[in-house]
Amino acid sequence: MDVKEAEERAGQLREQISYHNRKYYVQDAPEISDYEYDMMYRELQQLENEFPQLVTPDSPTQKVGAAPLNKFEPVAHTVPLESLQDAFSEEEMAEFDRRVRAVVHDPVYIVEPKFDGLSVALEYRDGVYVRGSTRGDGLVGEDVTENIRTIRTVPLKLSEKLPMIEVRGEVYMAHDVFYQLCARQELNQEKTFKNPRNAAAGSLRQKDSRITAKRTLDIFVFNVQRVEGAALEYHDQALEYMEKLGFSVTPFYRRCTTLEQVLEAVREIGEMRGTLNYSIDGAVVKVNSFEQRHILGSTAKFPKWAQAFKYPPEEKKTRLLDIEVNVGRTGVLTPTGTFEPVTLAGTTVSRATLHNQDYISEKDIRVGDTVILRKAGE
C-alpha cells in the first residue's frame, strides 16, 4: 500500500471509528460488535505506525494520553465562564422571574440539571479540537488540552468545519466508575477520593495525561461561549446544534413559559437525583433568547438571565449497627457510628461521627435505631 492509499484508508477508518465512538459512548446505541470495532482501531493504529506522517491530532488513536507535563499554563478566557447566583427556595426563584419580567417581555426559560463536576471550555478551529481549559476563576483557567483529549465523549473533530466554536461543559466521573476507582485505590493502599466530583477534578488535573486516560472521565456540554460560522438565537437551538456537531449535551431539559412550569421542572430534576449515574447539585434556569440575555446583562459577579436552584441536602434512612469509640492522640474519645451502607450524593456511606457522649445522650442514640444521614457540606 502506498502513501496515497494509506492516507485514504486512514481517513475512512477515522471517520468510521469516530462515528461508532459516538454511537457507543454518547448514544448508548452500538451498531457493531466490540470485535469489529477493535479490528478497525487496530488497522488504523497499524497504518499510523507504518506511515507516521498520517497521524492527525483528531485521530481516535490520540486519546490514549500524551507525555507528562511539568505544569499547567494559564489560559485567559475570551468569554468569561461565569458562576451563577443561587436560589434555595421557590420564593427566590419567583423573585428571579419577577426581575426578568420587569426588563424583558414574555421570557421563555430553559431548565436543565446543574452537574456537579469540573467546568471546562473546549475550543475548536476549522472543526478540530485545539484547546481545553478549566474554568479557574472564570477569567483565567488552566490549559488541560491533552487531558481533555483523552475523554471519550469529547469529539476531536466536529461534523461541520466551523471556523471557530468554543463550548462550555462539565467534566464528571460516573458513579460506577468512581466506585471501581475507589476499590482499586483501596486495594493498592492509596488515598481514595471523597466523592465523584473530587475524583473528576483530581483526574483531569493530572500532570500525566496517560493517568487521566485511565480514569474514564465523561463530559456534558451545555453552552456555546462563542461561534463563527453559525447563527444561533436561542439556547435550546444551541443545544440541538451542539449535539448535531457531535457533543454529548445535557440529556434532560425543559422549555418553560411560566413560573409554575419552571418550578415543576426544578422539582422533576430534584426527583431524578437519586436515580442518576452521575452527580447533580441543582437545576439551572436560563432565559432562552440570546437577545433577551444581552438586554438583561450581568452584575459584577453573575448573569442576570440565569439562576441556579440548589436542592436541600440529600438524606437517607438507615440502621445504626454499632457504636465504636476511638481514642485520639490527645486522649479524646470520639464515638463513631457504623450503619447499613447507603449512597449519598454519589458516595457510599457506612460510618459517621457521633461527636461525643453528650450528643449521644441528648439524641438518645442506640444501636438498632433508624437514623437519617446527611452529608456535611452538601
Domain membership flag for residue 69:
no
Query: Which of 288, 310, 332 is where one domain is finished?
Result: 310
Taking each helix axis from N to C end, the angle separating 175-187 and 196-204, rounded to the nearest 10 degrees, works out to: 80
Domain membership flag for residue 190:
yes
In the predicted model, is pLDDT for residue 377 greater than 60? no
- 284 and 334 in a single domain? The answer is no
- 192 and 137 in a single domain? The answer is yes
Residues 6+ apart with CB under 8 A from 316: 342, 343, 344, 349, 372, 373
pLDDT in tens, 262-305: 999 999 999 998 889 999 989 999 999 999 999 999 987 789 99
- 58 and 162 in a single domain? The answer is no
Q: Which three cell numbers stand for residue 280?
A: 447533580
Catalytic residue among 4, 114, 286, 301: 114
Domain membership flag for residue 246:
yes
- 206 and 269 in a single domain? The answer is yes
CATH number for position 332: 2.40.50.140
The total domain count for the chain is: 3
Query: Which of 274, 293, 310 is where one domain is finished?
Result: 310
H/E segment holding residue 370: strand 370-374
In the predicted model, is pLDDT for residue 219 greater than 70? yes
In the residue annotation, 114 being an active-site residue is answered as: yes
pLDDT in tens, 29-73: 778 877 788 888 889 999 999 999 999 888 888 776 555 556 789
- 112 and 219 in a single domain? The answer is yes
CATH number for position 36: 1.10.287.610
Place of cell 428571579: 96
Q: How far is CA 222 from the centre of its chain?
A: 10
Instruction: Give exposure, 235-268, as e/b (b: 16+ Cβ within 10 Å).
Output: beebbebbbebbbbbbeebbebeebeebbebbee
pLDDT in tens, 122-167: 999 999 999 999 998 889 999 999 999 999 999 999 999 999 999 9
* Global pTM exceeds 0.85: no
Domain membership flag for residue 11:
yes
- 92 and 136 in a single domain? The answer is yes
CATH number for position 175: 3.30.470.30
pLDDT in tens, 12-34: 999 999 888 877 765 657 788 77
Other Cβ atoms within 10 Å of 17 Cβ, number? 18
Cα separations in angstroms, 324 against 108, 340, 347, 357, 370: 54, 15, 21, 12, 17
Query: Which of 310, 332, 347 is where one domain is finished?
Result: 310
Domain membership flag for residue 189:
yes
Domain membership flag for residue 230:
yes
Domain hosting residue 329, numbered range: 315-374
